[in-house]
Amino acid sequence: MIQTGLGNSHAKIILMGEHSVVYGEPAIAMPISEIKCSVTMKSTTDGQQTLDSRYFSGQINDLPTDMTGIAQVINILEQRFYGQDDTWHMKITSMLPAERGMGSSAATTIALIRCFYDYYQATLTEDELLKLADLEEHITHNNPSGLDAATVSSSHPIWFIRDQVIEPFEMKMNATLVIADTGIRGKTKEAIALVKTQLRDQPQATQSVIHQLGELTVQAATCLKNNQSLELGQLFNQAQTLLADLGLSHSEIDKLIKVAKVNGALGAKFTGGGRGGCIIAIAKNQTDAKLISDKLIDAGATATWVQPLNTIGVNHD
Ligand code: MEV
């Protein structure tokens, strides 16, 4: 009998709190239903174990540059299920562009773990899932907060504090988010290392910026719960200024943010590690979002997505 397995996960965006979350400040993040990663396994009788990962965003050049962490998790899973001796073909199909702050490495890993457990019909607890994913994230990013794995595995937006809190975050917003990809790869590992260096060289100033980012996250939570889109837009702008002060922006990010604002966005910032990757801009409504999205594409964004901010859930099945 042919045995099969399937595991899914989704892209994530960080609404507020990237980088400061590494140092214990809170963050708000959400999975994006439209942008999915799927891993499938199928048993074979050809005696070979194969991993086909050509399907990242449908383009070979969107593969993550470093698959070491992902390979390590596959290794652990193989050993875990060792003895159930069959061979399989595995295929990763991911719509997430790699290294753009969307959680590509975490999403691939989460989908992969879910797929293995599905294939071997084993029970997977949330703890086990995150423990394995965190292992990959540590190899890939070096001292990550765990936020990416927690968000891409979640079916709803989350409020997150490193090693302390992962809880559902309920929003009541009428505004719409526009996500735009600069097309520039930004390595989270390097971005995290940059902040670490600044903390070493200018501890007081950097600590103060990190704390201010944390404060903005707390204020953003209030806005998101009370439909205060104008205020949230301003908080996005303030966060972007602080993150840029840390050297985490990029000329393409700055360009897209400007285009979004000129075309009616209430505020905009990059999302994720920065130094490339994606921006998020708040639009008053769907019509504005569509216009902003079109203008961002005209300005050179390689892709855009429109995401209502009142989204409650994502289905990983
Ligand atoms: C990356 O998506 C988010 C960062 O805050 C790193 C982390 O939380 O691990 C930059």
Nearest-atom number in ligand 1 for the CA of 144 is 9
Report the alpha-carbon distance of residue 158 to residue 181 in Å, rounded. Answer: 22
**Spacing, Cα 121 to ligand 1 middle (Å):** 32
The pLDDT of residue 59 is above 70 = no
Top-confidence residue, 67 or 251: 251
Atom 9 of ligand 1, nearest CA residue: 144
3-state secondary structure 180-248: EECCCCCCHHHHHHHHHHHHHHCHHHHHHHHHHHHHHHHHHHHHHHCCCHHHHHHHHHHHHHHHHHCCC
The pLDDT of residue 183 is above 50 = yes
For a pocket test of ligand 1, which of 13, 16, 99, 148 has the largest count of ligand atoms closer than 8 A to its C-beta? 148
**Spacing, Cα 163 to ligand 1 middle (Å):** 14
pLDDT in tens, 241-254: 999 999 999 999 99
Nearest-atom number in ligand 1 for the CA of 137 is 9
Report the alpha-carbon distance of residue 237 to residue 229 in Å, rounded. Answer: 12
Top-confidence residue, 233 or 89: 233
The CA distances from residue 252 to 39, 197, 205, 247, 268, in Å, are: 32, 24, 26, 14, 13
Nearest-atom number in ligand 1 for the CA of 191 is 10
CATH tag, 4-168: 3.30.230.10
pLDDT in tens, 8-47: 999 999 999 999 999 999 999 999 988 999 999 998 887 7
Beta carbons of 102 and 183 less than 8 angstroms apart? no
**Spacing, Cα 272 to ligand 1 middle (Å):** 6
Average pLDDT, stretch 225-250? 97
Q: Which of 24-38, 42-56, 76-90, 169-183 has the lowest mean pLDDT?
A: 42-56
CA 111 vs. chain centroid, Å, equals 14
3-state helix, strand and coil shares in percent for the chain, rounded to the nearest 5: 45, 25, 30
**Spacing, Cα 3 to ligand 1 middle (Å):** 36
pLDDT in tens, 96-142: 888 999 999 999 999 999 999 999 999 999 999 999 999 999 999 89
Share of the chain above pLDDT 70, in %: 95
Q: What is the pLDDT of residue 315?
A: 76
The pLDDT of residue 60 is above 50 = no
ipTM over 0.95? The verdict is yes
Q: Which of 9-18, 75-84, 144-153 has the lowest mean pLDDT?
A: 75-84
pLDDT band for position 166 (50/70/90)? Answer: very high
The pLDDT of residue 61 is above 60 = no
Binding-site residues, ligand 1, Cβ < 6 A: 14, 18-19, 21-22, 101, 141, 144-145, 147-148, 188, 191-192, 272-273
Top-confidence residue, 82 or 111: 111
**Spacing, Cα 49 to ligand 1 middle (Å):** 33
Average pLDDT, stretch 245-271? 98
Q: How many residues does the chain have?
A: 317
Residue labelled with tokens 């905009």:
268
pLDDT band for position 84 (50/70/90)? Answer: low
* Residue 310 in tokens: 């009142």
Nearest-atom number in ligand 1 for the CA of 12 is 2
Beta carbons of 77 and 118 less than 8 angstroms apart? no
pLDDT band for position 192 (50/70/90)? Answer: very high
Beta carbons of 85 and 74 less than 8 angstroms apart? no
Nearest-atom number in ligand 1 for the CA of 148 is 2
Q: What is the pLDDT of residue 87?
A: 82
Domain ranges of the chain: 4-168, 176-308
Nearest-atom number in ligand 1 for the CA of 162 is 8
Top-confidence residue, 86 or 241: 241
Decide: residue 85, CB within 10 A, 0-12 exposed, 13-18 middle, 19+ buried: exposed
Q: What is the pLDDT of residue 171?
A: 92
Top-confidence residue, 238 or 313: 238
Q: CATH topology for 176-308? A: Alpha-Beta Plaits (3.30.70)
The CA distances from residue 311 to 76, 151, 228, 307, in Å, are: 35, 14, 16, 8
* Max Cα-Cα span within the chain: 63
